């Protein structure tokens, strides 16, 4: 049985949606950020990074969203969540998800998690002030160059879609109007129509 450790509204939502799409049996365990549960001894045993998502498998734990998403797609081939039989297309999918992980998510984290990089109050404020710009620049690149439509990779839905969905959800709190990016905004609305997305959001609220 797979167990996903998640926190509502965080990047772990992408893995939760992918699991819902996969048809795999899994358990979802909420990590309470308000109580600092991600830094508790019990959780650090699963993920010494102190972050979600963490996916417990029978072989061990997997962390890092792109790795979890690729793993889910690989063990549930019938759900067709990645172009597993086409190395080039699979690399393109990984390229997209790694851009989200290494750049877009990190842009965002400079607002709520600036203390990872600085202690100085002025430096923290400067980092926050830059987030609308960095998120807008990343979304302009996604919108103009990376997003094929109607799904991230084109006609076929993949594990890139829930990851983009989460990033688009964060735009308003990052001071960016999603309407500035009509393809990403329409993609977000399209995602909300998917039963798997609705189930994932309901699980987060439960
Ligand atoms: N690179 C990691 C980032 C994981 C991450 O930063 N998760 C955030 C939630 S979006 C977290 O657990 N934050 C808790 C903390 O910083 O204390 C991934 O893509 O999975």
Q: Residue 203 forms beta bridges with which residues?
A: none
**96 and 162 inside one domain:** yes
How many Å apart are CA 82 and CA 133, to the nearest integer?
31
Q: Using the mean position of ligand 1's atoms as its centre, give its distance from the Cα of residue 38 in Å.
A: 10
Contact at 8 Å (CB) between 146 and 137? no
Instruction: Please report which confidence band the pLDDT of residue 127 belongs to, taking 50, 70 and 90 as the band edges.
Output: very high
Q: State whether the beta carbon of 64 lies less than 6 angstroms from ligand 1.
A: yes
Global pTM value: 0.98
Task: Taking residues 152-162, report their average pLDDT.
Answer: 98
Q: Residue 2 forms beta bridges with which residues?
A: 26
- The alpha carbons of the chain give a radius of gyration, in whole angstroms, of 17
Of 99, 166, 159, 185, the closest CA to residue 134 belongs to 99
Question: Which tokens sit at 77?
Answer: 């081939």
Q: Which of 16, 46, 52 to mutate to test the pocket of ligand 1 (most atoms within 8 A of CB)?
A: 52
Strand 26-30 to strand 2-6: parallel, antiparallel, or no bridges (unpaired)?
parallel
Q: State whether the beta carbon of 38 lies less than 6 angstroms from ligand 1.
A: yes
**190 and 201 inside one domain:** no
**96 and 178 inside one domain:** yes
**190 and 131 inside one domain:** yes
Q: Using the mean position of ligand 1's atoms as its centre, give its distance from the Cα of residue 64 in Å.
A: 8
Task: Taking residues 164-170, report their average pLDDT.
Answer: 98
Number of domains forming the structure of the chain: 2
Instruction: Domain of residue 25: give its range.
Output: 2-80+197-205
**29 and 101 inside one domain:** no
**11 and 76 inside one domain:** yes
102 CA closest ligand 1 atom index: 1
Task: Taking residues 134-139, report their average pLDDT.
Answer: 98
Burial of 16 (0-12, 13-18, 19+ CB in 10 A): buried
The per-residue pLDDT of the chain, averaged, comes to 98
> What is the H or E stretch that residue 141 is in?
helix 121-141
Domain with 67 in it: what CATH number?
Answer: 3.40.30.10
Question: Per-residue pLDDT tens for 11-32?
Answer: 999 999 999 999 999 999 999 9
Instruction: Please report which confidence band the pLDDT of residue 44 belongs to, taking 50, 70 and 90 as the band edges.
Output: very high
- Give whole-number Cα distances, 25 to 1, 10, 117, 124, in Å: 7, 22, 38, 42
Q: Using the mean position of ligand 1's atoms as its centre, give its distance from the Cα of residue 113 in Å.
A: 10
How many Å apart are CA 74 and CA 9, to the nearest integer?
25
Q: State whether the beta carbon of 15 lies less than 6 angstroms from ligand 1.
A: no
């Amino acid at each position: 049985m797979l167990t996903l450790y998640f926190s509502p509204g965080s990047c772990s939502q992408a893995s939760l949606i992918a699991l819902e799409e996969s048809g795999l049996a899994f358990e979802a365990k909420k990590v309470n950020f308000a109580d600092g549960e991600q830094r508790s001894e019990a959780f650090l045993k699963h993920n010494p990074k102190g972050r979600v998502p963490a996916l417990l498998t029978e072989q061990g734990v997997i962390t890092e969203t792109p790795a979890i998403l690729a793993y889910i797609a690989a063990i549930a081939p019938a759900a067709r969540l990645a172009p597993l039989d086409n190395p080039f297309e699979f690399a393109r999918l990984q390229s997209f998800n790694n851009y989200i992980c290494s750049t877009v998510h990190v842009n965002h984290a400079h607002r709520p998690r600036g203390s990872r990089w600085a202690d100085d109050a002025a430096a923290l404020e400067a980092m926050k002030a830059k987030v609308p710009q960095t998120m807008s620049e990343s979304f302009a690149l996604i919108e103009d160059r990376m997003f094929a439509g109607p799904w991230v990779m084109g006609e076929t839905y993949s594990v890139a879609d829930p990851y983009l969905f989460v990033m688009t959800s964060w735009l308003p709190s990052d001071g960016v109007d999603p309407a500035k990016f009509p393809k990403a905004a329409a993609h977000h609305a399209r995602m909300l129509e998917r039963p798997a997305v609705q189930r994932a959001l309901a699980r987060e609220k439960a």
